[in-house]
Amino acid sequence: MLAELFRYDSNMEPNLRKLQSMFHCTPDEASIAAELIHGLNATKIADKNGISIHTARQHIKDLLSKNGYRKQTELVPMLVRALS
């Protein structure tokens, strides 16, 4: 088993501009990425941001495809790692 240790403060607000730059995403997608970093799922993201579940899922799908990932479980660690 391979484990990677890094330090990340979950109370820290992610830098949305940095997310946009590093992950080639729109401001809305960066906002969704920040919510994923905090462990929210699509349903909770939609509720928190007053958007439909379809819109939240579409932003997540766009983040995945723009960055060459197939699963959220691949994307989220990269988001966290980029900001730690």
List the domain boundaries for the chain.
16-83
CA–CA distance, 57 with 19 (Å, rounded to integer)? 18
Q: Look up residue 54 and give its two tokens.
A: 């379809």
pLDDT at 2 over 90: no
What is the value of pTM for the model shown? 0.83
**Which two three-digit tokens encode residue 20?**
């946009």
DSSP SS3 for 33: helix
Give 24-70 pLDDT, tens digit per residue: 999 999 999 999 999 999 999 999 999 999 999 999 999 999 999 99
What's the CATH fold of domain 16-83?
Arc Repressor Mutant, subunit A (1.10.10)
Give the C-alpha separation, 45 to 38, whole Å: 10
The Cβ of residue 82 has, within 10 Å, a number of other Cβ atoms equal to 16
